[in-house]
Amino acid sequence: MANRDQERGLTNQRVRQRENDGRHHQPPQPTVAGSARNPGYNVPRSMLQQVRSPAESHRGQTTLPSNPEAGRKGEPPTPPREHGTPRSLPQTTQPPGNALMSVSDGSPSNGMASTEPPNLTGSVEKAEQFPGNHGGYADVWKCRYYRGGNSEREEMVAVKCIRLLGEQNQQERAKAIKRYQGEVHLWVTLTAHRHVLPLYGTVDGFAPLPALVSPWAENGTLADYVGRDHRRLSYDRKLEIILDVTSGLHHLHSSNICHGDLTGHNILIDRNEDVLISDFGLSSIVAEFNRTDYFQSCKPGAIRWADPQLVIDLINSNGGPLPRKNMTNDIYSMGCIILQVATGLVPYHDKHDCAVQFVKPNWENPVIPDTVSRNLANLMVRCWDRDHRQRPKLDKIEEAVRNELSH
């Protein structure tokens, strides 16, 4: 008991420090600078509505860090991202399980206003000769971002370049591009949350599609973080991480958005060890581009976190339209995230990727080690219920984790 009290005291001290950091540190806001070059697009420019806008057009933008010198031309004031302890989820009604994850016509399907991201071409340069991360559907470059074109305002960023592998006719490609643009616009709208990765803007010249620019996560992915530092992380810290992921996912769901590909690889940990959810909605768009299924489009092994019902629906589709994802699929994946954070192990850690494809349709749950508390183990099993209507809502997941944290 003494050790647990000491551990909790250290955790509370760390939380207070994070709150102070969040109140006093307000990094400068990125601005649009530099003219867009004409890169060698593989997609005809006539099909690609340029995702760019002068900084003057971004009034009321809420997704980038605030600028202490705000008010200058091209740098409108914006609220800072918040840091601190996991807070209680807002009392909102979670949308129905079949709510749409993505857009089909380039406009958000949830009724939210679309916000066009700044084009940062001319202010971003590669920091490495080769991309440092090769996902299933994208390459990620570590780059330098010069805010306002000023070399003294340098920040390391990640530039995600979506790969186009499939063969489509012009009409299909144009439709997929429009969906991609809609998802990017929606990302800008949704990132005014402390546990959703900010999107600074887009940049041309890296890939056929505009590449996505976001902060560089110094501590890597959640999979890296809990795998590398599992023994260092206190039990309370692990519960904090679960609450942070729950908070970010609730922000998406309360905006009528399903993530659709929640894994330990697209939850990031920044330099302050804050949790940031990324890549929501992108996997299905890439599947459209590349004429492949979700799990081939994503990072290898993504099927480990996927709802078995999606796998079954995909098998039954026989090459037809891909199954639609919904929020209950995210709840299943959330159970896998809880398992990964609690143990440091990926779901089905005892099985090869190929074997997971065969056990999923049979609804075989991941193994839960005996070291996991009974309360958390029961929560995971509820998240994996075959009847998606019986899976807990995010507020119930938060309640269960907070109860565990208080014991």
Reduced 3-state DSSP string for 20-66: HHHHHCCCCCCCCCCCCCCCCCCCCHHHCCCCCCCHHHCCCCCCCCC
Fold that domain 124-405 belongs to in CATH: Transferase(Phosphotransferase); domain 1 (1.10.510)
Flag the least confident range among 35-44, 99-108, 314-323, 338-347.
35-44
Cβ 90 vs Cβ 254: under 8 Å: yes
User: Would you say residue 104 has pLDDT above 70?
Assistant: no
DSSP category for residue 362:
G
Q: What is the mean pLDDT of residues 23-46?
A: 33
Q: What is the mean pLDDT of residues 158-175?
A: 75
Exposure of 244 in the CB half-sphere (CA atoms within 13 A):
26
Q: Pick the residue with more confidence: 310 or 20?
A: 310
CA distances from 390 to 251, 331, 359, 387 (A): 21, 11, 22, 6
User: Would you say residue 64 has pLDDT above 80?
Assistant: no
Q: Pick the residue with more confidence: 11 or 271?
A: 271
User: Would you say residue 3 has pLDDT above 60?
Assistant: no
User: Would you say residue 60 has pLDDT above 50?
Assistant: no
pLDDT score recorded for residue 36: 31
Q: Pick the residue with more confidence: 63 or 249?
A: 249
* C-alpha–C-alpha distance, residues 140 and 344, integer Å: 24
Flag the least confident range among 5-9, 141-145, 310-314, 346-350.
5-9
User: Would you say residue 12 has pLDDT above 80?
Assistant: no
pLDDT score recorded for residue 399: 97
Beta strand ranges found along 185-339 (DSSP E): 201-203, 211-215, 267-269, 275-277
Annotated domain spans of the chain = 124-405
Q: What is the mean pLDDT of residues 102-126?
A: 65
Helix (H) or strand (E) holding 7: helix 2-24
User: Would you say residue 127 has pLDDT above 60?
Assistant: yes
Q: Percent of the chain, pLDDT > 70?
A: 63
CB crowding 175-190: b at 16 or more within 10 Å, else e: bbbbbbbbbbbbbbbb
pLDDT score recorded for residue 181: 79
Cβ 264 vs Cβ 254: under 8 Å: no
Q: What is the mean pLDDT of residues 361-374?
A: 96
User: Would you say residue 31 has pLDDT above 60?
Assistant: no
User: Would you say residue 17 has pLDDT above 50?
Assistant: no
* C-alpha–C-alpha distance, residues 207 and 160, integer Å: 9
